[in-house]
Structure 1
Amino acid sequence: MCCAGFLKMMMFIFNGAIFLAGVAIMGVGIWVKVDSGSLMDILDNVDGAPSELSILVNVSYLLIGVGAVLLVIGFLGCCGAIKESKCMLLTFFSIVLIIFLLEVAAAVVLLVFQNLTDELLHGVENELRNTIRRKYGQDEDVTSLWNSTMEKFDCCGVKNYTDFYYSPFYNVTEGLVFPPTCCRANVTVGECNESEAVSSVADGCLDILVQLIEENSAIIAGVALGIAALEIAAMVVSMVLYKQIGSKA
């Protein structure tokens, strides 16, 4: 009895953690979805973008889906342990096992095709630059998204101020004015001209985004490993509890 009670408590703790992880991931997904000023929305407006970009654009849906699955897993694990339901425990184990195998397969694929990252990044850079030169200053949605992104991240264009050359905005201003964020730290009070943009050397938005991802890669990897460890522990405990319930019957 004591052992069974301990296992139930372990299942509750493991699945409670998985449930909370699901809430957190779903929350992040919802936040990304409603954040209209993020680069994800800009990518969604890129014409002729490669099909691989759909993964980036729809990342919010992926996070929401993963969070929902984790919520279901946490519910099955907790209820299965408390009610001593063999069916729920077996369903819980099967779902977690499938997800764990998919995670391992995804990690292997990422390692094998790691060399495609630079190629994909180069494609993103070109398409974003083309979007600026075709629509910035003419398309209100694209212009607003770029302005909010540059203001939020304190950056200029994809790589630098030259990305605005020959855009509708550039043509209207006759090349005399650039977006304010292209003049870092407000080099002078007033409009941002080319000489000020050259001297300020503002960072490109794509470089800042990549830097943010790299800086948080250790955290992302740590969270992924933590979730995997919880999944393994939960599977082991669920099977031990499943056998104990079967022996009682």
Structure 2
Amino acid sequence: MAGVSGCIKYSMFIFNFVFWLCGIVILALAIWVRVSDDTQEILSSEDLGSSPYIAVNLLIAVGAVIMVLGFLGCCGAIRESRCMLLLFFIGLLVILLLQVAAGILGAAFKPESDRILNETLYENTKLLSATDGSGKEFQQVIIGFQEEFKCCGLVNGAEDWGNNFQQYPKLCECQDAEELCTNYNGKRVYKEPCISFIKDLLAKNVIIVIGIAFGLAVVEILGLVFSMVLYCQIGSK
């Protein structure tokens, strides 16, 4: 009867040990973000709603699942346990299938997500013109964004700021080429609204996420192959 390949066995162990460490790091960082006093103030902001909590809780769940799978893979490889290797294989396969399903759903609902993004940006223009302090944090974020990307407002340019335009002396101040600037209320400001820059930034981040997901898929497939080969070799001993 054929024996268990030491190369595959220890490759499987090292792969899952790194996988387990990644799970610990993700879980630890997510829990720290969830309980930190500084981040609690940001997460509890009315402007942000409940989305940050959902994202952090999702990271906690992902870190925990990765830890469990890494533990099963490590123990299954070292102890040559077919049961643990099978559980690892099933868990990794489910994650891979969920990634594929998420990719398909993301592609199918892209037009809908674009529509929601547009509606959100148009709705958030109200925060720029708010004078009661409710949109103060959001206004500061957009001011920084404007300075970095040389744009003004969200959708309609400087007009989005309403009565707040006069409260910030250097708001949207344009000191670049003439074609980038326009005059508003006697002030030289950037002509381009920030909506196009925000969309471009999100599109670039989506490409990065797709690249990471593809890389993870390759690693997961390798994990599936290693675990099944080891599973079959243990069974043929």
CA distance in 2, matches of 1:236, 1:143: 53
Q: 1:214 aligns with which of 178, 203, 216?
A: 203
Give 2:73's aligned residue: 77
**Cα displacement (A) at 1:122:** 1.4
- The DSSP-based 3-state class of the residue aligned with 1:44 is coil
Give 1:139's aligned residue: 133
Q: How does 1:51-70 map to 2 (within 5 A)?
A: 58-70=54-66
Letter of the 1:44 counterpart: L
- The DSSP-based 3-state class of the residue aligned with 1:182 is coil
Give 2:109's aligned residue: 113
CA distance in 1, matches of 2:14, 2:171: 48
Please list every run of 5 or more consecutive structure 2 residues that lacks an aligned counterpart in the other structure: 177-183
Are 1:195 and 2:186 an aligned pair? yes
Please list every run of 5 or more consecutive structure 1 residues that lacks an aligned counterpart in the other structure: 46-53, 187-192
Structure 2 CA distance for partners of 1:2 and 1:185, relative to 1, 3 Å: farther
Letter of the 2:189 counterpart: S
Are 1:239 and 2:228 an aligned pair? yes
Q: 2:154 aligns with which of 124, 134, 158?
A: 158
Does the 8 A contact of 2:76 with 2:84 survive in 1? Answer: yes
Structure 2 CA distance for partners of 1:92 and 1:213, relative to 1, 3 Å: same
Q: 1:227 aligns with which of 212, 216, 222?
A: 216
**Cα displacement (A) at 1:222:** 1.8
- The DSSP-based 3-state class of the residue aligned with 1:58 is helix
Give 2:124's aligned residue: 128
Root-mean-square deviation (Å): 3.7
Question: What is the CA deviation profile of residues 5-25 of structure 1, one whole-angstrom value per residue up to 9, with x for unaligned ones?
Answer: 111122134324534554665
Tell me the TM-score normalized by structure 2. Answer: 0.73
Using the aligned pairs only, state the percent identity.
34
Question: What is the CA deviation profile of residues 34-68 of structure 1, one whole-angstrom value per residue up to 9, with x for unaligned ones?
Answer: 39779x967525xxxxxxxx667733333343233
Give 1:102's aligned residue: 98
**Cα displacement (A) at 1:152:** 5.7
Deviating more after overlay: 90-99 vs 11-20: 11-20
Structure 2 CA distance for partners of 1:27 and 1:226, relative to 1, 3 Å: farther
